[in-house]
Amino acid sequence: MLPAQQRNRPFSLLQSMNASPLISVIIPAYNHERFIGPAIESVLKQTHSHLELIVIDDGSKDATGKIVQSYNDPRLSYYHQENQDAYNTINRGLGLAKGDYVAILNSDDIYTTDRLEKLLALQQESGAACLFSDVVPISDSGEEFSDPNFGWNIWHKKNLDWYFACGDLYTAFLKGNFMVTTSNLFMTAEAMRRVGKFSSLRYLHDYDYIFRMMLAFPGQVRYVHDQKLLYYRIHSGNTLSEAAVTGRLQDLDVIQKYMLAALPEQCRGLAAAGTARLLELRDELEQVRTELAGRTEPSVRERLKLLLTAVKYKLRKKLAKRP
């Protein structure tokens, strides 16, 4: 379960509206009546209280909008629009943000109470353009997925191991998106303006964005690997669907695009050709293996053909022995 202080912390403005930087938090919300309340509260109860919370309801059909409007806090602004998908919703929020810093929180995820305070302090100490932390995976009911053999944990550990082994953030992202989600982004308003809007990738707009951020601000993107400052919700109802195919196709495009972007221009043609052929070979090998696996036993027609061949061979041998 979430820590008691995360669930029951009393609302207080420990840092009243003073000279502390204003942080804009954007929540794109769609049909999350079950989760939007905890998400909002995790922002409004931050230890850094000088913030604005922009909630954009992307055409929800459930009670999401009513729940958002039930909160009486001058820092919260609510907007409703017809459904336009997550990346367009976030982009609208970026255009509305007035803060010195910008953060995003998906409507089913939750900030730790001190997330903004800690990331702000680290940014001011390091001068980073963008920061993200490690995350805690949770279920629909808020239970932590702590089993190391849980599929998501295996995937995440593999990506982190690669990062620690190679020691380079950009290279590590080519192996996998260990930022995990747009909810993990914390950036300066200047960096947000320079990188621009999120791309129209339904499933991987966060992955594309972090690559663009690293290219725009080399060496100024920081991974806070030793602190888990975000609860990332993994829904138990998720099932394999066409989205899994589309997501992987987008993954291929993003990785190839930003792998080539990191290379000298004169090398990009060679790398593109070699990568394309490697992908073709992988597909060809899979096809051959599938065909071979399906031919473990010869068909009736193939057996008859083999039998006729054997008979013809024997007849030819007998005829050859005749005087």
pLDDT in tens, 33-83: 999 999 999 999 999 999 999 999 999 999 999 999 999 999 999 999 999
Q: For residue 239, name the pLDDT band (cuts at 50, 70, 90).
A: very low
| Residues 153, 10 share a domain | yes
| Residues 128, 232 share a domain | yes
Q: For residue 7, name the pLDDT band (cuts at 50, 70, 90).
A: very low
| Residues 161, 87 share a domain | yes
End-to-end CA distance of the chain: 93
pLDDT in tens, 213-233: 999 999 999 999 999 999 999
> Is the confidence at residue 9, as pLDDT, over 60?
no
| Residues 256, 269 share a domain | no
Nearest to 97 by CA among 224, 203, 233, 191: 191
pLDDT the model gives residue 147: 95
| Residues 291, 245 share a domain | no
Q: What is the 3-state secondary structure (H, E, C) of 77-109?
A: EEEEECCCCHHHHHHHHHHHCCCCEEEECCCCC
Query: Which residue range is the domain that position 276 belongs to?
Result: 265-321
Q: For residue 16, name the pLDDT band (cuts at 50, 70, 90).
A: very low
Residue at which a domain ends, from 217, 233, 260: 260
CATH (domain of 176):
3.90.550.10
Rounded to whole angstroms, the Cα distance separating 134 from 213 reads: 18
Rounded to whole angstroms, the Cα distance separating 91 from 95 reads: 6
| Residues 273, 187 share a domain | no
| Residues 205, 90 share a domain | yes
Q: For residue 6, name the pLDDT band (cuts at 50, 70, 90).
A: very low
| Residues 147, 87 share a domain | yes
Give the total number of structural domains in the chain.
Answer: 2
Q: Are 229 and 115 in contact (CB under 8 A)?
A: yes
315 or 82: which carries more pLDDT confidence?
Answer: 82
> Is the confidence at residue 14, as pLDDT, over 80?
no
Rounded to whole angstroms, the Cα distance separating 322 from 194 reads: 92
| Residues 286, 167 share a domain | no
Helix, strand, coil percent values for the chain (each to nearest 5) = 50, 15, 35
Model pTM score: 0.80
3-state secondary structure of 258: helix
Single-letter code of the amino acid located at 323: P
**What is the token pair recorded at 168?**
């380079």
User: Is 308 exposed, middle or buried, given 0-12, 13-18 or 19+ CB atoms closer than 10 A?
Assistant: exposed
- Mean pLDDT score of the chain: 87
- The DSSP bridge pattern shows strands 186-188 and 221-233 to be unpaired
Residue for token pair 């976030």: 90
pLDDT the model gives residue 275: 82
Q: For residue 272, name the pLDDT band (cuts at 50, 70, 90).
A: confident
What's the rounded mean pLDDT across residues 160-167? 94
| Residues 218, 90 share a domain | yes
Which uninterrupted H or E stretch holds 162? helix 151-166
Range in 86-100, 136-150, 176-190, 268-282 the model is least confident about? 268-282
> Is the confidence at residue 111, as pLDDT, over 70?
yes
75 or 243: which carries more pLDDT confidence?
Answer: 75
| Residues 269, 254 share a domain | no
Strand partners, 81: 58
Range in 58-72, 145-159, 190-204, 279-293 the model is least confident about? 279-293
pLDDT the model gives residue 293: 79
Nearest to 214 by CA among 174, 161, 256: 174
Residue at which a domain ends, from 217, 238, 260: 260
Residue at which a domain ends, from 213, 244, 260: 260
Single-letter code of the amino acid located at 2: L
Rounded to whole angstroms, the Cα distance separating 131 from 185 reads: 6
- Residues of the chain with pLDDT > 70, as a percent, come to 82
What is the number of H-type helices and E-type strands within the chain? 12, 8
| Residues 113, 80 share a domain | yes
**What is the token pair recorded at 11?**
């609302």
> Is the confidence at residue 104, as pLDDT, over 50?
yes
3-state secondary structure of 119: helix
Q: Which residues of 34-58 are buried (b: 16+ CB within 10 A; e: fewer)?
A: ebbbbbbbbbebbebbbbbbbbbbb
Across 139-243, the runs of DSSP E, i.e. the strands, are 186-188, 221-233
pLDDT the model gives residue 309: 62
pLDDT the model gives residue 276: 82
